[in-house]
Amino acid sequence: MTEELITDYDIRGTNETGLTVECAWNIGKAIADWLPTAGNIVVAYVPTQATLANAVIEGIRLQGRNVVDAGGGDSNAAVSYIQTAGLSGAVVVSADQISNIVTIELYQEDGRRIEVSSGLKDIYDLVQAGNFVPAAIKGDITAIA
């Protein structure tokens, strides 16, 4: 993942700029390790980005964290899930159809978006280092019907 993928408030790019399935997988691992509260993480995504969302989900699970798969959803839905179900955080994978860019937003347990000033750079550094130690037990996944 190149530094050009990080904005002040999200991760964005294309497969050509480095936002690959492997990158999404590592983002999942990084957010799982970075979030301070052990608990479930919700992942919401637009259907066109299911492949990247599934990679994020797999990364989170490999770090031993449970995932709530919200399927089709946006940031408002993810924040609502965090607040109503007491989740540890959220990942939202969406797309800007006009510029053909994928965006990944990360959220904390209080529903605030993780920005560069509140930890996005730290998560980026974890992705870049790639020194993830998988958990002894893979996390579970629950789908929201």
Q: Which tens digit of pLDDT belongs to each residue from 51-69?
A: 999 999 999 999 999 999 9
Which pairs from 76-82 meet CB under 8 Å and 24+ separation? 77/44, 78/42, 78/44, 78/107, 79/107, 79/111, 81/42, 81/44, 81/144, 82/42, 82/107, 82/109, 82/110, 82/111
CB 56 within 8 A of CB 27: yes
Range of the domain at 127: 3-132
The total number of structural domains that make up the chain: 1
Predicted pLDDT at 36: 86
In a domain, 140, yes or no: no
In a domain, 143, yes or no: no
Least confident of 16-20, 32-36, 135-139: 16-20
Q: What's the whole-model pTM score?
A: 0.94
In a domain, 124, yes or no: yes
Instruction: Check whether 3 has a pLDDT greater than 80.
Output: no
CATH of the domain at 9: 3.40.120.10
